[in-house]
A = this chain, B = another copy of it.
Amino acid sequence: MARSTIVELARAAGVSPTTVSHAFSGRRYVDPETKARIVALADKMGYRANPRARRLRTGGAGIIALASSMPFAIAAGPARLGFLMEIAAAAAVTALSRHLALCLVPPLEPDSNLDALEVDGAIIVEPTSDDRLLEFFSARGVPVVSIGRAPGRDDIPSVDIQSTATARLMLEHLGANNRRVGLITGEQRRNSYIETEAVYAAFAAENGYTPVALRVNESGGEGEAAAIAETLLRGNPDIDALCVPVDAFATGVLTAARSLNRSVPLGLRLATRYDGMRAKLSVPQMTAVNLHLDQVAEAAIDLLIAVMEGKDPERRPIAPPLLVVRESSAT
């Protein structure tokens, strides 16, 4: 059935399309009685403004993109999927309540053609330095915000995922009882790694030992992490706690511990960052951090909306990260 247009509604209400438009938008005063008549009639006729026509005029798409340069689907396995998708799910809910649709953007393949993709703004999750999707959107003049600061791009507004606080939280917990803590992060340059490494360096200094930190190539995934962890543990027998922010890597560390016959948590304490299924289901269950990703997602969307509207982004506080202590680091 063809939907009725503003012209038909106007005719039915005995006014001009202009008046109908104003009645709904409130951009100009319309006699309350007239307005009521229009609204009632619109309801009866099932009139809904054609979003496409509106967009041509107003220049908005009503869509925002959520993107991560981390290989999206199979590429790096579902390793990172959980984190991203938890954000995606929360963001979709929030976006909708702000009358925006959330569109998932896969990582940019060299040949992919995003020309038809018309969005009002984009959220990039944990961008790396020189993030390709970030470049892509900002080159097009699309407003962009990030979840986790974009390294080297202080001009990009971002929602803090509190990596510094999170790192401290993990480190102090792991280091209790004079445990000596090592660190395993990833090779890509993401802000969360950078901050964590910095906090770790300071932490080791405070406690008077040499930092022991290694990086895993992300595409190697769990297996690579296991190998690196083995190296680290063999080479540094005094390390008896490991901070491993990436949950997939932490699972790898568990494997390494097993093959080295180091019991967790007795011989090795372990904590990871993202409290997803991996942390909850691994054996032993892993201590992790509640990052309040739902709040983060919501804040990111509202930040993006503010940027799109050219408003001053009002920084909304996110609940501080919360350590969820589990078996892997129980005293």
Contact = CB atoms under 8 A, between A and B. Distances in A.
Contact of A72 (B51, B59, B81, B93): B93
Nearest to A112: B96
B59 A52 contact: yes
Which of A51, A72, A141 has the largest count of B CB atoms less than 10 A from its CB? A51
A212 interface: no
Interface in A116-159: 116-119, 141
Interface in A60-103: 61-63, 72-74, 78, 81-82, 85-86, 88-90, 92-93, 96-97, 99-103
Contact of A89 (B50, B73, B114): B73
Interface stretch (A190-198, A260-268, A273-281, A300-308): A273-281
Contacts of A106: 89, 92-93, 96
Given A89-B85, A277-B278, A278-B281, A73 B294 contact: yes
Nearest to A78: B277
A104 interface: yes
A55 interface: yes
Given A141-B1, A277-B277, A63 B103 contact: yes
B278 A74 contact: no
A176 interface: no
A77 B59 CA distance: 38
A112 B99 CA distance: 10
A315 interface: no
Contacts of A48: 115
Interface string A245-277: 000000100000000000000000000000011
A62 B277 contact: no
A52 B118 contact: yes
Nearest to A82: B277
Contacts of A97: 112
A78 B92 CA distance: 15
A50 to B, nearest CB: 8
Interface string A39-51: 0000000001011
A226 to B, nearest CB: 14
A85 B51 CA distance: 28
A282 B53 CA distance: 51
A108 to B, nearest CB: 10
Given A61-B52, A62-B118, A113 B99 contact: yes
B104 A88 contact: yes
A105 B92 contact: yes
A51 B63 CA distance: 13
Nearest to A101: B103
Given A52-B52, A73-B294, A141-B1, A88 B88 contact: yes
B62 A56 contact: no
Closest 5 A/B residue pairs (Cβ): A85-B85, A92-B104, A73-B89, A51-B118, A283-B283
Given A78-B86, A81-B86, A277-B281, 5 more contacts: A51-B118, A52-B118, A73-B92, A88-B88, A92-B104
